[in-house]
Structures are given as C-alpha cells and as structure tokens.
Structure 1
Amino acid sequence: MSGPTDGDSGDAPARYVFRVTVRLEPAAGYATEPAAFETVLSRAADPPGEEGWLFFRDTLWRGELGDAAHGRRLAADALGVPVESVSFSELQTTEAYLDDLKAAIADDLDAFNADTVSEVLKKYLGSSIRVE
C-alpha cells in the first residue's frame, strides 16, 4: 500500500491498519506449512492536505476496501508476496492528527460529495477510527 517514504510507519501520528492473508509460493520441490497465514499491515497516513492524504477517500468505503482486487494488489506490492485477502481494520490516530484531518476535509467538502465532516468520516472510514 503505497505511502510515505519516510521510514517506519510505527512512529507516524496516524496509520491505516489492514488484516492481510498472504500465500507463500516456494520454489519447486519446497513446501510451506501453513501455505497461507494472516498478518497485520499498516500504512502511515499522509499529513492532511499533503500528497497522498486522500488515501482513505480513494481506497475505502464505509470502513471496507472499495475495490478488493485493488486492495490485494496494493498489499502484495507492499509485502512482496501474493495476497489472498485484505480487509481494513482501522485508522489509528492521535487527536491532533484527527483534528487536522477534519479541518482539511472541512476546507473542501465538495471533493467528498458531503455536507459535513462527520458524514465524510462515516462514508469512508465507517466506525473504524481509534484515537490513541
């Protein structure tokens, strides 16, 4: 899931968290057990108003991936292994980041085809926002 290139997403003020099922495809003559397993993948959320900040709008719909095949491709690109499934878990954020996100949304509600910031958050993230 392409994102900021500033390193580890663990220290970002906000991150998108996904549950991903990956499948290992070993070379001929080799086998893995299990062949598929679930892992957690997170992507740092770009600062509101900066390039990439609309990831949630372009990727999610009501707290789910809007296009499952696209989500699997993004996750496979990020992990370097085939992905069987991916599901959005939550946006983990600080209060400061969430305030900035709300302000950036409010500055351009027309881009979201919505009347309120709350409507935008619910439309794209569902109830999957966790403030830490």
Structure 2
Amino acid sequence: MHAEYVFRVRFRLDARRVRTEPETFETIVRLPAEPPGADGWLFFRNALWRGEVNDDAYARELASDWLDVPVEDVTFREFECDEAYREAMETEIGRDLGTFNADSVEEVFHKYFGSSIRLQS
C-alpha cells in the first residue's frame, strides 16, 4: 500500500555570505501519505480543497519545515496512490461520511482532491 502527495515548491536560498544565481529554485516534493485511519491520514482534509492548497501561508510553512528553506510558493499537483491504498481510503472515508460533510466517498474525493488523483500500478 503506497500513496504520496505531490507538490511543486518554489523556494529561496537565504545565503548571507555569498550571492547565488539563481536565488530561487523550483522542485517537486513528494510527501508520503499516512495509512488510512492512522494519525495524520486526514492531511488531505486539512490542507486541500478542490485539488488546490486551501491555505497558502500554512502550505508555505509546512513546505519550509519539510525543506528547511524559505518557501515562496506551494502548488498541489496530485495525489498518487496504488489500488490498495485507494480501497483502504474509500473504506475509511465510508465509515464516517459525516466527518467530511458528504453523502458519498466520491463526493469526498471531489471536494478535497478535485481531479488530482492518479492511480499507480
């Protein structure tokens, strides 16, 4: 079972004694998803909305912590998961749709991920 959140992150080097060119860089960051039901598995509910970062300042703060550099921009790209993770996630979401204020698992996926879920084999 495997899943990752994929973000495009633009960060800035904060060099004090030297000058760098360029000063900003872009990279792809892959954040491993916690197994459904584990602590932290609801990251998507707390950080995403319709396939976008729902709070830019919070996302930049998180990415700065992940990379240990000042982050200027974070864009959610996609959620990659295998079939086993997706099935486990569907089961866990289905246990308590009220938590997500939704009538179906598919509605939950659409609310938080938009069309940004990619199944890996």
SS at match of 1:99: helix
Which of structure 1's runs of 4+ aligned residues deviate more than 6 A?
none
CA distance in 2: counterparts of 1:128 and 1:33, whole angstroms: 33
**2:83 corresponds to which residue?**
95
Q: Does residue 1:105 correspond to 2:93, yes or no?
A: yes
1:47 paired residue among 18, 35, 46: 35
CA distance in 1: counterparts of 2:67 and 2:108, whole angstroms: 29
Q: Deviations over 1:45-89 (max 9, x none)?
A: 000011101000000000001100000000000100000000000
Question: Where in structure 1 are there 5+ consecutive unaligned residues?
Answer: 1-11
Shift in Å, 1:130: 0.5
- TM-score w.r.t. structure 1 length? 0.89
**2:67 corresponds to which residue?**
79
Cα RMSD for the two superposed structures: 0.8
CA distance in 1: counterparts of 2:72 and 2:38, whole angstroms: 31
* Matched residue type, 1:24: L
Shift in Å, 1:27: 1.4
- TM-score w.r.t. structure 2 length? 0.97
**1:18 corresponds to which residue?**
7
1:125 paired residue among 110, 113, 119: 113
- How many pairs align? 120
Q: Which has a greater percent of strand?
A: 2
